[in-house]
Structure 1
Amino acid sequence: MADEVLQAQDGSSLSPPSWFRRNRVGIIALASTLIFAAVVLGISRITHDVSYDAVLAALDQVSALRLAGAVLCMALSFGFLVCYDLNALRFVGARLPLVQVAPVAFSAYAIGNMAGFGPLSGGAVRFRGYGRLGLGSDRIAQVVAFVTAAFGIGLAVIGGLAVLVFAGQVAGLIGQPPGLLRAAAALVLGGLALAALWLWRVRPAMLPDDATEGRGFALPSARTAGWQILITAGDLLAAATVLYLLLPADNPMPWTVFVPLFCMALGLGVLSHVPGGLGVFETIMIGGLTPVLPPEQVIGALVLYRLVYNVLPLVLAALLLAGTEFMAHRRLLGAIWAPQVSGAVIPPLMALYALVCGAMLVFSAVLPVAQDHLDWLAGTVPLPVVELAHFLSGLLGLALFVAARGLAHRLDGAFWVALAAAGLALVLTLPKAIAPYEAMALLGLVAALLLTRRCFDRPAALLAEPLTPLWLAALAVVVIAATGLLFFAYRDVDYSNSLWWQFQMSQNAPRGLRALLGIALAGFAIGLLSVLRPASRQVQAAAPEALAQAIALAQSQDDSGANLVRMGDKAVMLSQTGDAFIMFGVQGRSWISLYGPLGAQSARPELLWRFVEAARGVGARVVLYEVPADLLPACADIGLRALKLGEMAVVNLETMDYASSRWGEQRRALAKGTRDGMALQILPPEAVPAVLDDLARISDAWLGQHKAREKGFALGRFDRAYVASQPVAVLRDQGRIVAFATLMPTATRAELSIDLMRFGTDAPRGAMDFLFSALLADAKAQGYRRFNLGMAPLSGFATHAAAPMWNHFGEAIFTHGEKFYNFRGLRAFKAKFNPDWEPRYLIVGGAVSPVAALIDVTLLVGGGLKGVVGK
């Protein structure tokens, strides 16, 4: 019914569109799984006359020379892919040496091509690798956007041109009229040409000057775009040649006709959102090639293509970076490839390597063993050992699959699980099938894990965080693929219930059925445990002991905002070493941390990971509010994304000089206020209780005048105990207190900031300017190095054509939201004190809507919907 609604976990109502947005990642994962299942069914019908033995025979017919040529073309294609990143880095103004760009780019494409979701999987590698090389998150995001757009546009251009020229030949392969194909290609190319013309000729005139004069991400020049089209063309032609060389030498299809078919299959595989386009790409290529080639030869070539173009680069990247990490640890290659590069890229790379080995074990458990291998096993290994080896191989593959996600997060538990599973599976390769290639892959994984042991140093529970929808979809894809392979390999075997109980060395089908049953049941159990995760639980405020420890830490570090923990309205998570803490609150399904980890720098990354793990473990979404830029690499390591929230105004007191002309306005404000009888007095905490009644009177008057309510979480509230816990600056006019500001100091004297600032109705004109000017002078006299004026929300956004939609959203609110909040006025007032503007970020998980996260933060600060509506 149209008026039906869905109930959220917290009891609120969600309309169907809201429910869809909230669960879009799960819906995409489910849709990808269903698409893959349909593709497997379609391939099964297309190849109903093809036997497993015929495919193996076709694989044997590929000559060593053509296989070597395919490997060389793969290397050439990845060389062009590295040029993608070089061109993108040059475009955003970053100059990094090739020897440091190459391992990051190569690994990013090796992972992205295999796992799919390139902007996310390959993008995460770039954030880790380039972030460790000193590149800012904004520039890395621009690089990811550049290479993603370059591939999509280049694929459309090259594929469109190829189809336009060779429409007649392609039409016969896919059963469509040549005129329709030419019209579609012309429409795509014409649309791209019009878009390019608008972007380069019309759009720059609509942009602000700073978007076209070097600030942010301007439009690429015609030369840059031309070079990128050539690079993309070289990549696609080399990749297509890999598969073309693996087809039979007497292939009647010309290479020029094969390329457009390859581009079409590649593009649809990307659009399907199936990991790596697996199945979708194969279906289109089988449908296009079987009219001129036997299907078993096409399937064999596609299997080899996946091994050469997807698996081989992944293994090479993992072993290469593992060896680099090992050698850099011994200071032999540290000057060539920065150790921070390999240390940043290795975890996701090893995770995907483990995932591939896990899938390999699952597939090999259900596929038949060669007859000559069975003959040898029959006289050497007892039958129960062979049966057990097959059954355990599939389960060990699932263990590697689960451990892969932990490896991506650098969990030490995942390292030991992966090492044990790979080691045991390596031992079982002999009694299972005498599989030398499988043994080599597992041996490489074991060696790579041992060489990179120090990269997995997070002591967290492996199963504390359930698998995400995308990982569950990947697990389902593996199980569905294993099922399809089993029925393909044994399609000539008549099924009967007695097959389950046949235990003979020559009976491959029963052995594969039992292995598949174990794999399916174990996979279902893993998925069920992840889906039935507990709902978000209520988080209590900090215990007195934890609060006292957090307050002590707040005093001993450099971030004055940490003193907000004194309010006692936030939960506190302490680091295992007790030298750092996270303060956070809960709103709806969001766990919201203020500023992220605070305290010792060395303890912050581990504490951040523990916070994320705890939140996700109870089904909550992770939000970090007002996070400084130096925390972004640690957030990227965990897979969180950053969006700019605004800019913090920080005055450098060491360079502040009221005698200079730059500070003339503040000097005059001090002189005028002093003549008018105003004076600033800093009260230590012990002197505050004596004036609390006066401060309460001023606070109530201020709230009444502004028709505002007390806030919380990221802002202080007038609570007598809280106000009396810190120094208070009072402004006196003719001896009377007319205004006050609570101060948040640090024992290190690195930073001082204001929290509450309230003015009475009888405060004289110019009181605010006098208060701030006097506070800055007093802080400098006390030896503080910085004075934090607080954040100017939604300011400093770049809104060029390639900027994220979030930037345009924030800039629109900053520009047109004056009736709701004084965005421009607040920034203008703080700008009078000549601050340095430091960016602050909103950090969310990959599947979390930043708008929804910001709404939860607003509700938490305002004390709920009533507090927000009532100001």
Structure 2
Amino acid sequence: MASDGSLEEIEVAESRGARGFLRRYRPHLVALATLLVFCIVGYAVVQLTDEVRYEDVVAALANTRPSAILLALLFTGLSFLALIVYDLNAIDYIGKRLPFPHVALTAFSAYAVGNTAGFGALSGGAIRYRAYSRLGLTPEDIGRVIAFVTLSFGLGLAGVASIALMIIADEIAPLVGTSALLLRLVAGVIIAALGALLVLGRDGRAMHIGPIAIRLPDSRTWSRQFLVTAFDIAASATVLYVLLPQTAIGWPVFLAVYAIAVGLGVLSHVPAGLGVFETVIIASLGSAVNIDAVLGSLVLYRLIYHVLPLLIAVLAVSATEFRRFADHPAASSIRRIGGRLTPQLLSALTLLLGVMLIFSSVTPTPDQNLEFLASYLPLPIVEGAHFLSSLMGLALLVAARGLGQRLDGAWLVAVIAALAALALSLLKAVALVEAVFLAFLISSLFVSRRLFTRHASLLNQTLTASWLTAIAVICVGAVVILLFVYRDVEYSNELWWQFEFAGEAPRGLRAVLGLTIISSAIAIFSLLRPAAFKPEPATEEALRRAVEIVRTQNDADANLVRMGDKSIMFSEEGDAFIMYGRQGRSWIALFDPIGAKHARPELVWRFVEAARAAGCRAVFYQISPALLSHCADAGLRAFKLGELAVADLMNFELKGGKWANLRQTAARAQRDGLEFEVIPPEEVAGVIDELSAVSNAWLEHHNAKEKGFSLGAFEADYVSVQPVGVLKKDGRIVAFANILVTETKSEGTIDLMRFSPEAPKGSMDFLFVRIMEYLRGEGYTHFNLGMAPLSGMSKRETAPVWDRIGSTVFEHGERFYNFKGLRAFKSKFHPHWQPRYLAVSGGGNPMIALMDATLLIGGGLKGVVRK
């Protein structure tokens, strides 16, 4: 094993230099850049609306025609219908079939959350991963679905905007202050690039980038999806267009402006494009339409196209929680999917209502409402309710993240904050709309109470850079609204101390100050709290407890915990555990959690949170498909790592044509004088010196060193606790393998397999055959032959990039590792191949995680370089 000092030197070297700094602090730098962009956008909004007054916006909002609202609702429905077709096309493209109700509910929920919370590919992708993994899609399939819908929207948006620009550049140019020729030139370049992709992908042709082949969708798929995307963009643009007052700007011109505004909002990385989208619309239409009317229409557009679908999605999945809907099999199936989506939807709704409370704290209360309050309540009650309501909004923002993680503490905080905010909304302004929304949230939380069962403190959850950015954007947005609403109020220090019913501006100032102080404290706590530390190896007591659990499990590989080189995290009941190690900035868990199945979801969550609290990424190495849904719930992405070979011992016998080669090998080994024997654990100590001599000779012959983590090392205490199968020649041990078993006799496997140079050719095959026969005779049903790395990667041109890279390495990487040879050796025993995965916490680079796992197994960089 490498020394601690050498590992620390590697970590220090990785963090040195500009590249290391950027890699380590990339999320924080992106967050700062996003916040800076939003600040610039906020300043632009204030400048662009210099002539607009808040009262005019409210009046324009109130004067919106009912027919326009009905039309906006109709086109919102059409747009979301097109969005559902996105997923249907994507699933059809990967060659799968899923029930329409399940796809519709998943897609609708994904887009509702993505449109509201922003980061659509991430937030909407997480919902798809949770739902589609329950429906049987593999991580590779889900990744391709997410890539399809994301890419199709991006390319479709670019295509629609470019075609519109090409046709109506003369009308657009004056709006954006540039020449029509330049606009047509830019549009032409984009259209040419899209046309080139269409030609390259016709008939499903593949593009070759080095050894990797990428198959683009065929022309029919491209055309069909482009029409769907164009319809979606046209419908969503029409939602805003019908809400605008009658103007000389035609629908085609507005469609181009809308597409550009959406695109810039996505590129800005600001959550939901908040402010960026509005700025582009105002800047483009301000000269042709009254800005107050534009602002009113934008507010309605956000409510109808963003808020309403989220409310419908929450209502739909909350309805599935009622037991009476579970009688019909189809309803029961949808209910299971709804249970997977509910926490994410409630998280988005809680975030939205938190924003609503914060923004309402900096907007004035209608005069008639203030007069009503003045008749019944003293001023301190109203002032206190106004100030505390904004803080309840901030509490909902913080609780929103915990709801997505199913924390019972977050559920409790959300309920208390929402109940308090409901009461305060009536006391501060008789805000009936706020009260209705909050009551809806409270009822949805109570209906879904059974889903929030994770016992964890909300205070122990470290907010990530993206969440801190969202809170900062919301606080800056509150400041921008405050400046806009009270631009006619001249600032003075006395405003902070004015307390009167008509003093709306002072109340807004105090609310913003409270928000700034509390949110800054939360940010400082989250940024300074994590401190990376190295997990300690398991104590003797922990090892004893872990071994007791392993004895009652079916997974023979779990005996690797006996090595004592890994840390152990137990479940709260102590009936399950995760064994893990740390390398670089990765906490790497080996295999699925060992022990009671009911404890596995919570263990996954605890491990991810502990790694995050230590400033590291969480990685699960060699996990089975059964764990993928729990990893998805915890926000991890899965990547195929290889395949595990498992032979059926009940049908194993060296008879028939397919076993001819092994039968001949076994016969040759017997003619060479090899004898097989299984040494029970209590007798291993008597031959430990002979085994050590064989092990040392094997290491020297292969110029290798002992490995660790997912492989055992030759240590007397480890080798002597389980049976050892040996091959003897002329009475001397020339080969051995330690046999890992559990008391359930479900499966057996081997870890160390060492040969002396004197062992005859074919000894490895003979040793495997005899161990398998021994285990079958002892009543074991399966033999675990171990994993073949990068085996079984999809070679299809539609496969994810990770699979294509893995397949390429498998085909051409023999000079570095015997990938094909290992697969061929295991195939001799005609096993069943089971996929195994690498899961990495959200946003983590799988290549870095895999490299860290390799270093951990090899005992550091020297161990990896040295065979």
- Offset from partner CA, 1:693-715 (integer Å, 9 cap, x none): 10000001011111111111111
Contact conserved, 2:203 with 2:219, CA < 8 A, in 1?
A: no
Q: What's the CA shift for 1:208?
A: 13
Could you tell me how far apart the structure 2 residues matched to 1:548 and 1:359 are?
A: 51
Q: What's the CA shift for 1:859?
A: 2.1
Contact conserved, 2:204 with 2:218, CA < 8 A, in 1?
A: no
The alignment partner of 1:251 has SS state of coil
Letter in 1 for 2:238: T
Could you tell me how far apart the structure 2 residues matched to 1:98 and 1:715 are?
A: 45
Structure 2 match to 1:654: 650
Deviates more, 1:775-784 or 1:457-466: 775-784
Structure 2 match to 1:151: 153
Contact conserved, 1:326 with 1:452, CA < 8 A, in 2?
A: no
Give matches, 1:437-476, under 5 Å: 437-476=433-472
Structure 2 match to 1:770: 766
Equivalent of residue 251 in structure 1, options 247, 268, 273: 247
Deviates more, 1:788-797 or 1:312-321: 788-797
Structure 2 match to 1:627: 623
The alignment partner of 1:540 has SS state of coil
Q: What's the CA shift for 1:205?
A: 7.9
The alignment partner of 2:587 has SS state of strand
Structure 2 match to 1:214: none
Structure-2-length-normalised TM-score: 0.96
Structure 2 match to 1:436: 432
Could you tell me how far apart the structure 2 residues matched to 1:814 and 1:107 are?
A: 38
The alignment partner of 1:325 has SS state of coil
Letter in 2 for 1:590: S
Could you tell me how far apart the structure 1 residues matched to 2:325 and 2:463 are?
A: 33
Q: What's the CA shift for 1:323?
A: 1.5
The alignment partner of 1:597 has SS state of strand
Equivalent of residue 191 in structure 1, options 190, 193, 198: 193
Letter in 2 for 1:747: E
Q: 1:330 to 1:435 in 2, by over 3 A?
A: same
Q: Does 1:598 align with 2:594?
A: yes
Structure 2 match to 1:51: 53
The alignment partner of 2:791 has SS state of coil
Contact conserved, 1:426 with 1:443, CA < 8 A, in 2?
A: yes
Could you tell me how far apart the structure 1 residues matched to 2:235 and 2:747 are?
A: 56
Could you tell me how far apart the structure 1 residues matched to 2:699 and 2:334 are?
A: 55
Contact conserved, 2:168 with 2:252, CA < 8 A, in 1?
A: yes
Contact conserved, 1:327 with 1:334, CA < 8 A, in 2?
A: no
Give matches, 1:124-273, under 5 Å: 124-200=126-202, 203-204=205-206, 219-248=216-245, 250-273=246-269
Q: What's the CA shift for 1:576?
A: 1.5
Give matches, 1:579-618, under 5 Å: 579-618=575-614
The alignment partner of 2:640 has SS state of strand
Q: Does 1:705 align with 2:707?
A: no
Q: 1:812 to 1:24 in 2, by over 3 A?
A: farther
Could you tell me how far apart the structure 2 residues matched to 1:205 and 1:345 are?
A: 37
Structure 1 match to 2:21: 19
Could you tell me how far apart the structure 1 residues matched to 2:774 and 2:577 are?
A: 30
Q: Does 1:525 align with 2:521?
A: yes
Could you tell me how far apart the structure 1 residues matched to 2:164 and 2:586 are?
A: 49
Q: Does 1:692 align with 2:688?
A: yes
Deviates more, 1:535-544 or 1:858-867: 858-867
The alignment partner of 1:740 has SS state of strand
The alignment partner of 2:592 has SS state of coil
Could you tell me how far apart the structure 2 residues matched to 1:208 and 1:343 are?
A: 44
Could you tell me how far apart the structure 1 residues matched to 2:141 and 2:485 are?
A: 49
Contact conserved, 1:680 with 1:732, CA < 8 A, in 2?
A: yes
Could you tell me how far apart the structure 2 residues matched to 1:810 and 1:388 are?
A: 61
Structure 2 match to 1:351: 347
Structure 1 match to 2:530: 534
Could you tell me how far apart the structure 2 residues matched to 1:590 and 1:357 are?
A: 36
**What runs of 5+ residues in structure 1 fail to find an aligned partner?**
1-5, 212-216
- Offset from partner CA, 1:554-612 (integer Å, 9 cap, x none): 12111111000001111111112222110011223221111131122211111111111
Structure 1 match to 2:842: 846
Could you tell me how far apart the structure 2 residues matched to 1:534 and 1:256 are?
A: 52
Q: What's the CA shift for 1:221?
A: 3.1
Contact conserved, 2:144 with 2:800, CA < 8 A, in 1?
A: no
Letter in 2 for 1:165: I
The alignment partner of 2:839 has SS state of strand
Contact conserved, 1:164 with 1:181, CA < 8 A, in 2?
A: yes
- Offset from partner CA, 1:788-831 (integer Å, 9 cap, x none): 11111122222544443333433343334323322222222122
Contact conserved, 1:328 with 1:339, CA < 8 A, in 2?
A: no
Could you tell me how far apart the structure 2 residues matched to 1:90 and 1:842 are?
A: 26
Contact conserved, 1:324 with 1:337, CA < 8 A, in 2?
A: no
Q: What's the CA shift for 1:116?
A: 1.7
Give matches, 1:417-436, under 5 Å: 417-436=413-432
Could you tell me how far apart the structure 1 residues matched to 2:495 and 2:622 are?
A: 62
- Offset from partner CA, 1:410-458 (integer Å, 9 cap, x none): 0010000001100110011111111111111101100110111111111
Structure 2 match to 1:735: 731
**What runs of 5+ residues in structure 2 fail to find an aligned partner?**
1-7
Identity %: 49
- Offset from partner CA, 1:239-281 (integer Å, 9 cap, x none): 0010001101x22211121111111111111111111111111
Could you tell me how far apart the structure 2 residues matched to 1:12 and 1:231 are?
A: 46
The alignment partner of 1:536 has SS state of coil
User: Which of structure 1's runs of 4+ aligned residues deviate more than 6 A?
Assistant: 6-9, 207-211
Structure 2 match to 1:814: 810
Contact conserved, 2:201 with 2:219, CA < 8 A, in 1?
A: no
Q: 1:87 to 1:461 in 2, by over 3 A?
A: same
- Offset from partner CA, 1:378-414 (integer Å, 9 cap, x none): 1111111100111101110111111000000000100
Structure 1 match to 2:3: none
Q: 1:338 to 1:180 in 2, by over 3 A?
A: same
- Offset from partner CA, 1:509-550 (integer Å, 9 cap, x none): 001101110011010001000110231122111122221111
Letter in 2 for 1:704: E
Q: What's the CA shift for 1:288?
A: 0.9
Q: 1:751 to 1:762 in 2, by over 3 A?
A: same
Letter in 2 for 1:320: A
- Offset from partner CA, 1:22-68 (integer Å, 9 cap, x none): 32222222211111111011111111111111111110110111111
Deviates more, 1:13-22 or 1:149-158: 13-22
Could you tell me how far apart the structure 1 residues matched to 2:168 and 2:731 are?
A: 90
Could you tell me how far apart the structure 1 residues matched to 2:329 and 2:271 are?
A: 34
Equivalent of residue 107 in structure 2, options 105, 108, 124: 105
The alignment partner of 1:659 has SS state of coil
- Offset from partner CA, 1:197-227 (integer Å, 9 cap, x none): 123369438599998xxxxx95433222222
Q: Does 1:560 align with 2:556?
A: yes
Could you tell me how far apart the structure 1 residues matched to 2:58 and 2:784 are?
A: 70
Q: What's the CA shift for 1:851?
A: 2.1
Structure 1 match to 2:5: none
- Offset from partner CA, 1:622-668 (integer Å, 9 cap, x none): 11111111111000001011112222122122333421212221222
Structure 2 match to 1:673: 669
Could you tell me how far apart the structure 1 residues matched to 2:658 and 2:10 are?
A: 55
Contact conserved, 1:667 with 1:773, CA < 8 A, in 2?
A: no
CA RMSD of aligned residues (A): 2.0
Structure 1 match to 2:298: 302
Contact conserved, 2:156 with 2:226, CA < 8 A, in 1?
A: yes
Contact conserved, 1:107 with 1:125, CA < 8 A, in 2?
A: yes
Could you tell me how far apart the structure 1 residues matched to 2:646 and 2:299 are?
A: 59
Letter in 2 for 1:61: N
Could you tell me how far apart the structure 2 residues matched to 1:851 and 1:353 are?
A: 35
Could you tell me how far apart the structure 2 residues matched to 1:337 and 1:205 are?
A: 40
Letter in 2 for 1:164: M
The number of equivalent residue pairs is 860
- Offset from partner CA, 1:472-501 (integer Å, 9 cap, x none): 000001100000011111000010000010
